[in-house]
Amino acid sequence: MNSSSVDLRATAAETARQTRALLAELDDPNSDLTASRATRNRLQGAALALDALVDQHRHEASPRR
């Protein structure tokens, strides 16, 4: 696997993690952050898409048998 694939996978994984952290903060009743249901849905969809990208690159990087 080349370094750009590793960088892309690491960046996507970190972005998914940060997106989930933002969603958790939005769900925290003590947080000052607010978002509409549509915005939350878009953030959840983005996190899932990033997970899929990471999984795809992980699969492509695994040795073929």
25-65 pLDDT, tens digit per residue, is: 999 999 999 999 999 999 999 999 999 998 988 777 777 65
Give residue 3's pLDDT: 75
pLDDT tier, 1 (very low <50, low <70, confident <90, very high otherwise) = low
Alpha-carbon distance of 58 to 34, in angstroms, equals 34
Give residue 64's pLDDT: 66
Give residue 17's pLDDT: 96
Type and span of the H or E element at 6: helix 3-27
Give residue 7's pLDDT: 87
Tokens at 42, concatenated: 């878009």
Alpha-carbon distance of 59 to 62, in angstroms, equals 5
pLDDT tier, 12 (very low <50, low <70, confident <90, very high otherwise) = very high
Following CA atoms 44, 40, 20, 24 in sequence, which dihedral angle do they give, to the nearest 10 degrees? -140
